[in-house]
Structure 1
Amino acid sequence: MPILLQLAVWVFALLLASTNAAEPYKLMPPPLDTPWTDKVGTNPWPQYPRPQLRRDGWKSLNGIWTYQAATDPDDTAVKPTLPLRQEVLIPSCIESGISGIMTTGVTHMWFGTNFTVPEASSQGDRVMLNFEAVDYEATVYVNGAEAGFHRGGYSRFSFDVTQHLKPYGDNELLVFVFDPTDDQSIPQGKQSKRPHHIFYTPCSGIWQTVWLEHVPENSITKLDVAAGMDGKVDVTVHGSKNESTPVEISVHDLDGGVLHTQQAMSNEPFTFTVQSPKLWSPDSPTLYNITVKMGSDEVSSYTGFRTVSTGMVNGTLRQLLNGEFVFWFGPLDQGYWPDGLHLPPTLEAMVSDLELIKDLGMNLVRKHIKIEPDLFYEACDRLGLMVMQDMPSMRVYPERRPTDDEQVEWERQLDIMVEEHKSYPSIVSWVIYNEGWGQITDYHPEFAITERVRRMDPTRLINANSGWRDHGAGDFSDNHHYADPQCGAPYYSLPSSPYDPNRIGFQGEFGGLGSRPADENLWPIETALRTINETYEMHATPDSFHYRARTLLRLLREQVEMYGCSGAIYTQTSDVEAEVNGLVTYDRRVVRINAAQWQEDIKALYDAAKARV
């Protein structure tokens, strides 16, 4: 380094130290960007984050915070002072370019900011500090006092911080985060510190929205709503105090008028019926707005009237939507982005993937071993895309049997996933295990897990084992086979199991046709580049790719016509790092498939299924 440049660096460091200033935030150029990278700005994700429990009085804390790696990861007794060493954009994964950090290998870290509390709203004077997701463990301090602890990288949490707040001026917020990724057996999905082929760059830190909300002393904390095709609505209004309190729920018609009002009590299930509702389906994703009042608290929500069930259709067990066999078809949706990793750069970017899927004529996404922000599920509700929701798997690299404690924790987080998302009408099925990852095989816990999930949520189907290590639990006989489908057919290839006619025949994954994109659309990391050819089936020319895509969809259609095939998942929505088998490239700039051809072939699948009714 030239002497003058070195002196300039030293002077800059001294100035930072003397003014106790953090290194300013700067968007780090990611290895690959998207059309939305430069649109993130410093006010990311400004939307209200919980669309099914909406209040007026709230304040986003998203934006510029400060960050530093923990110097003593085992001792949080001595907390750092603000500002921390480097500015960071919240929400983000610290491994992403959008964070402004773009570092890997950090397991213990601090995040901090100052905030002011808006004046108390008419809805109450308790202040809730809400986090939509922090990966993986978070200990939260407000003005030096510990406000709470949370474990789990995909679930939301809230703390009442009223007692810790200063009546005037700035309040200090510090968050200590620990994220082992795959150094421990935790629900981490496809995150890996050793990314290669089907395992990807991890996400650590505060990766979803942080926000404040005023609520009354006794507030509505959760709203469970299940509305069926017969108009029956099952509701539980959960209150912050474990006591019965009068509540009023109103369902509004499509013009905004009140369709039905029901009086009931909180923390107790109750039922009422709406006459002749318009049903929710992919062809007609009708949603009804809801308001709920409990004392001085009022929240708005929504629901869709639909029923997911099973039934025999001309001698074959099928999944039914509103009493009819509807063929399920859509992509394996990984939800990774080159600039934000786990978090899309913007809401518009996230919705663009879903709109592409819908425009092709698909009616389903399999959300693959990852849980998205709630706004993802709201978008699916409004677009009319059914969702098969996977539980993020435990460690699979290197593979080993989970301990009893690890299994208990994984099941606890599975229960939370179901409880947090069971009011979204688009979700039609829970997926417990994927391809045996993290699955215990010396006994079969999926039977007990399936029954517990069914008790928590009897309104959806359960896919206990997607792929293999199938012992007969759940509603689906699910086969994975690349590239050709083997859906409900009287033949199969190991390690998948044979089709079980006592359950629904389903192709949980197939396809995976790949072609290397141009360098400007490719994830340019050497460890990824070395494993591109591990993509399931590579094609050297577009003509070859399009020919095979048409062939695979024809084979699937024939299996619908001849056998017990009731639905299928094509791999996948977008390229992800070393995987180059998406409908679109990882940067979302190039649509790889022939859209008109796919629209025609997908319609043929639905027509074949209708002919079996």
Structure 2
Amino acid sequence: MRKINNLFTEEYQENNNFPLEEYPRQQFKRDSYFSLNGLWNYEISKNKNSRNYQGQILVPYPIQSINSRVNKTLKKNEYIIYQKKFTLEKDFIKDYTILNILGIDQEFTIYLNNTLLGEYTFFGVPMQIDISKCVKEENEIIIIVKDNLNLAFPHGKQSNNPKGMFYTQVSGIYYPIFIESYHQKHIGSFKYVSNLSSVDLYIICNEDYHIEIYENEKLLYKIASNKEHLTINFDNPHIWSCEDPFLYKLIITSAHDKIESYFALRTIELKDNFVYLNKKKIFLNGLLDQGYYPEGIFTVSSYKSYEKDILTMKELGFNLLRKHIKVEIDYFYYLCDKYGMLVMQDFVNNGKYRFIHDTVLPTIGFQSLKDHKVNFYQQKCFIEHGKKLVKYLFNHPCVIAYTIFNEGWGQQEADKMYDFFKEYDSTRLYDATSGWFKQTRSDFNSKHIYFKKINLSKENSPVLLSEFGGYSYKVENHIFNLKNNYGYKFFKKQNEFQDAFIQLYLEQIISNKDKLVGAIYTQVSDVEDETNGLFTYDRKVLKVDIEKIKFLMKKLLD
């Protein structure tokens, strides 16, 4: 494999001992923050009790990545053992001290100051661990991780034999890790539900508090309360939309705690087989977004990488990213909130992928097969992941929809899962079975079309073309794998690729627009063997002319 660097790798190198230093959780920002990103000692061993450290690893990058400075594969039944000493100021430590782990694969054990905190399994969504009983000013933390790529747990497209549409496995700590500490009397949680003229705030706080709501820098409301539920009505509401993604600033303050957050006024609904954002019909003009980066795999060198992807795709005329079988750091969703990019978030699949059943048969036309036989432990893990994911993203206005199953991967009792999650969060839309194997329950009639012409008949259901395109063009000096190449239609010249892309939209998407609620092109960027992105894998080359694609998308959306 060839080493290629992202556009923002230089920034990572300049900030090499403290990457991703920004506070990652913009939806619930507390002034207590101690980052554990940086250099840790590490060892790879089959003996989880060994402490013969072999060097240093840069957290938060998976051990397989260039950015980690290890760039090694973790073999089956091997452990990666992390160790770090750190000092906390005396006044930092309050009644409750919490370790926040935003991403780690898959099973791990934590010791703090020679005390076993516990053994854990990561379900693809940030988790919090109470370290109050053993934290001190001077500390030593040891985290022992095993990643056998257990298929019962959410794993997405990770593979220990990466090729084609499956990618390099990520092991160990791969997202930021930090500590916060707060008083026994504190703000426990905040969520909101809004419409176009009011917002319902749900605040858990075990003491009196007050809220401040700002429109830009203007204070609109200051309300003292001890209630868990407040309703705020707006005389002149400022609606969040793709064109004007306005966020109200919210500050929650109690005697012992303070949280900075934000919220938005917006609605999303299906009506008469169309999607409506804020009561206005919208065509979901989207892109598949895998969220992989050559130097960090799962993890960006800088949050500017997120920003570049979002802003470039928006400039081209797209209004939605389908975040594909991967959960990002909260900062990604904050930027989508800030810049007005809609997100359709995939659940991360578990279970075994079956090439013939899940890909070959539906590709040649057998798309009405039944769900996989139920594996109850696998389903339990999937539900646990889904509940954590929906709770994690609940406050983000950009998130308008979820994909539960993709192309049958791990699909079990799709109707039951749709009903469960639709009740769990009724404020979002759900694509229960993206691509094929639709059962009876879903908000969308979801189709993937790659190998034949898109020629749809009018159906009495909201048809979402949730994947199509995937045209491949390899850009010299920006290729991850010089030997392998993956895509659905191949071009050797930039102008041929661009002309085919434009023709695809003109002849097959615009002509079918009246039969669709949206269309999601594959994809934002190249990923390892896949060379079917609009960006190269390193994001240094955009394969299309911005002005030409803006004109094309304006024609589509008008």
For normalisation by structure 2, the TM-score amounts to: 0.91
Contact 2:8 2:301 in 1 (8 A): yes
Note closer, same or farther for the CA distance 1:257–1:333 as it changes in structure 2 (3 Å cut).
same
Decide which of 504, 509, 512 is 1:552's aligned counterpart.
Answer: 504
Q: Deviations over 1:82-135 (max 9, x none)?
A: x722200000010001001111133522111001112325x9443222111111
For 1:509, the equivalent position in structure 2 comes to 467
> Contact 1:252 / 1:258 at 8 angstroms: preserved in 2?
yes
SS, match of residue 102 in structure 1:
coil
CA–CA distance in 2 between the matches of 1:238 and 1:336?
Answer: 36
CA contact (8 A) 1:401 1:438 kept: no
Give 1:235's match in structure 2, choosing from 177, 201, 205: 201
Is 1:462 the equivalent of 2:393? Answer: no
List gaps (5 residues or longer) in structure 2: 356-371
Amino acid in the other structure paired with 1:237? I
How big is the shift at 1:286?
Answer: 0.3
Q: How many residues align?
A: 537
1:70 Cα offset (Å): 3.0
Contact kept, 8 Å, 1:52 with 1:302, in 2: the verdict is yes
Q: Name the counterpart of 1:25.
A: none
Partner of 2:211: 249
The amino acid across from 2:276 in the alignment is L
SS of equivalent to 1:281: coil
1:222-271 per-residue CA deviation (whole Å, 9 max, x = no partner) reads 3212222122x1232245xxxx65443332222241335362434xx553
Task: Report the Cα offset of residue 221 of structure 1.
Answer: 3.5
Q: Does 2:375 align with 1:403? A: yes
Match among 176, 183, 189 for residue 216 of structure 1:
183
Structure 1 counterpart of 2:548, which letter? Q
What letter is aligned with 1:235? L
Alignment of 1:302-451 (within 5 A): 302-312=262-272, 317-398=273-354, 403-440=375-412, 445-451=413-419
In the alignment, the residues of structure 2 paired with residue 446 and residue 221 of structure 1 have an alpha-carbon distance, to the nearest angstrom, of 34
CA deviation map 1:293-319 (0-9, x unaligned): 34412111001110011112xxxx101
**CA–CA separation in structure 1 for the residues paired with 2:172 and 2:294:** 17
Aligned to 2:369: none
Alignment partners' CA distance in 1, 2:274 and 2:439: 20
- Provide Cα deviations, 1:271-310, integer angstroms capped at 9, x if missing partner: 3323331100100000001112344121110011100111
Taking structure 1 as reference, are residues 347 and 143 closer, same or farther at Cα in structure 2, changes over 3 Å only?
same
Which residue number in structure 1 is paired with residue 243 of structure 2?
A: 283
For 1:135, the aligned partner's letter is D
Q: CA deviation at 1:383?
A: 0.8
- Residues of 1 paired with 2:165 and 2:310: CA distance? 22
- Pairwise CA distance, 1:458: 1.7
CA contact (8 A) 1:513 1:545 kept: yes
- The residue type equivalent to 1:405 in the other structure is Y
**Preserved contact between residue 260 and residue 274 of structure 1 (Cα < 8 Å):** no
Secondary structure at 2:167's aligned position in 1? Answer: coil
Q: 524, 549, 552: which is aligned to 1:598?
A: 549
Within 2, Cα distance between the matches of 1:550 and 1:386?
Answer: 23
Q: Distance in 1 between matches of 2:53 and 2:74?
A: 19
Give the Cα–Cα distance (whole angstroms) in 2 for the partners of residues 329 and 297 of structure 1: 42
Aligned in 2, Cα 1:294/1:451: closer, same or farther, shift over 3 Å? farther
Q: 1:573 to 1:485 in 2, by over 3 A?
A: farther
CA–CA separation in structure 1 for the residues paired with 2:2 and 2:35: 26
**In 2, Cα distance between the equivalents of 1:194 and 1:373?**
26
CA–CA distance in 2 between the matches of 1:406 and 1:294? 42
Counterpart for residue 47 of structure 1 = 22
Corresponding residue of 2:10: 38
1:293 aligns with 2:238: no
After superposition, the C-alpha distances for 1:508-559 in whole angstroms (9 at most, x for unaligned) are 00111111221x211136xxx33x1x41000122232122111111134434
Residue 601 of structure 1 deviates from its aligned partner by 1.0
List alignment gaps of at least 5 residues for structure 1. 1-28, 74-78, 491-498, 608-613
Larger radius of gyration: 1
Q: Aligned pair in 2 of structure 1 residues 558, 57: CA closer, same or farther (>3 Å)?
A: closer
- Out of 565, 587, 593, the position equivalent to 2:516 is 565
Equivalent residue runs for 1:486-525 within 5 Å: 486=454, 489-490=456-457, 500-502=459-461, 504-518=462-476, 520-524=477-481
Give 1:421 deviation, angstroms.
0.6
Distance in 1, Cα, partners of 2:147 & 2:185: 34
Do the aligned partners of residues 286 and 486 (structure 1) sit closer, same or farther apart at CA in structure 2, a change above 3 Å counting? same
Q: Which residue among 7, 19, 44 is the counterpart of 1:69?
A: 44
RMSD in angstroms over aligned alpha carbons? 2.1
What does residue 359 of structure 2 align with?
A: none
d(CA) in 1 for partners of 2:494, 2:261: 46
**Whole-angstrom CA distance in 1 between matches of 2:225 and 2:426:** 24
Question: In the superposition, relative to structure 1, how do residues 210 and 560 fare at CA in structure 2: closer, same or farther (>3 Å)?
Answer: same
Is 1:583–1:593's contact at 8 Å kept on the other side of the alignment?
yes
Q: Secondary structure at the match of 1:354?
A: helix
Alpha-carbon offset, residue 31 of structure 1: 2.1
Deviation for aligned residue 1:34: 1.8
Q: 1:161 to 1:95 in 2, by over 3 A?
A: same
Distance 1:408 1:271 in 2: 35
The one of 166, 170, 177 equivalent to 1:203 is 170
The whole-number CA distance in structure 1 between the counterparts of 2:116 and 2:8 is 37
Q: Is the 8 A contact 2:61 2:173 kept in 1?
A: yes
Q: Is the 8 A contact 2:286 2:322 kept in 1?
A: yes
| Structure-2 residue corresponding to 1:271 | 231
1:173 equivalent in alignment to 2:135: no
In the alignment, the residues of structure 2 paired with residue 119 and residue 382 of structure 1 have an alpha-carbon distance, to the nearest angstrom, of 36
Residues 153, 32 of structure 1: CA spacing in aligned structure 2 closer, same or farther, 3 A cutoff?
Answer: farther
Show CA shifts across 1:391-412 (max 9, x none).
1112444568562101111111
Distance 1:579-1:401 versus aligned 2 partners, 3 A rule: farther
Which amino acid letter does the alignment assign opposite residue 454 of structure 1? K
Whole-angstrom CA distance in 1 between matches of 2:226 and 2:407: 44
Kept in 1, the 8 Å contact 2:208–2:224? The answer is: no
Alignment of 1:12-161 (within 5 A): 31-40=3-12, 41-73=16-48, 79-81=49-51, 84-106=53-75, 107-121=78-92, 124-161=94-131
Shift of 1:473: 1.5
Q: Contact 1:136–1:179 at 8 Å: present in 2 too? A: yes
